[in-house]
Amino acid sequence: MSKQIIKPFELLLEYERRSVAHALGGSSNDESVEDWSGIGFKVGNDLLVSEVDYINEVVILPELIRIPGIDAWVLGLVNIRSNLIPAIDLKQYLFGEPSRITKHSRMLIIDQPGGQAGLVVDEVFGQRHFQQKMWQDIAQEDSNKQNLLTYCEKFFNVEDVNWNVFLVNRLVHDANFQNASGKINIKR
């Protein structure tokens, strides 16, 4: 009688594969090639999801250092592991309305040209899995959300809930996002 050696890491990988297949309502074979994973979060009343590869980490909002003379959507600088990065109020940037910081507020750390930035969002729901065949195009007629639609082209509808796919890469390359200098009044 031979003993089969169970390797813990391989066992965990198998559990993950089965779990993802179950969550997607599929079988445990290799259908995962067409699957899409993202980090789900909320900004105002909108549910968004960004590709996992564009979110470095999710943190509780640390203490802010305010910066005078800069756009209001830049909350200030935060210290993340000895790196000072700008904290961006994503709701204020997109809709012109400041976020209400609560115990559910989180910051998504993203890469941008020249370093990192932190996007402050109302809540983070963790990793979400979708099938790419469920993608739908967003109708561009909603003028109330035109700024949001600049960064979203598609959405997933799951159980009558729309998850707009937020394109972080488009955000960080937008000249408006890169130029946060406010108007400074100089008295002479």
Global confidence as pTM? 0.77
- The pLDDT value recorded for residue 22 is 65
Q: Whole-angstrom Cα distance, residue 105 to residue 25?
A: 31
Domains of the chain: 34-178 (2.40.50.180)
With 50 as the cut, is the pLDDT of residue 184 above it? no
Lowest mean pLDDT among 120-129, 146-155, 166-175, 178-187: 178-187
Edge-to-edge strand list for the sheet holding 123-131: 123-131, 35-43, 46-51, 161-166, 152-158, 135-137
The set of residues, in sequence order, having a beta carbon less than 8 Å from that of 12 and lying 6+ positions away, is none
Say if residues 120 and 88 touch (Cβ distance below 8 Å).
yes
| Banded pLDDT at 17 (limits 50, 70, 90) | confident
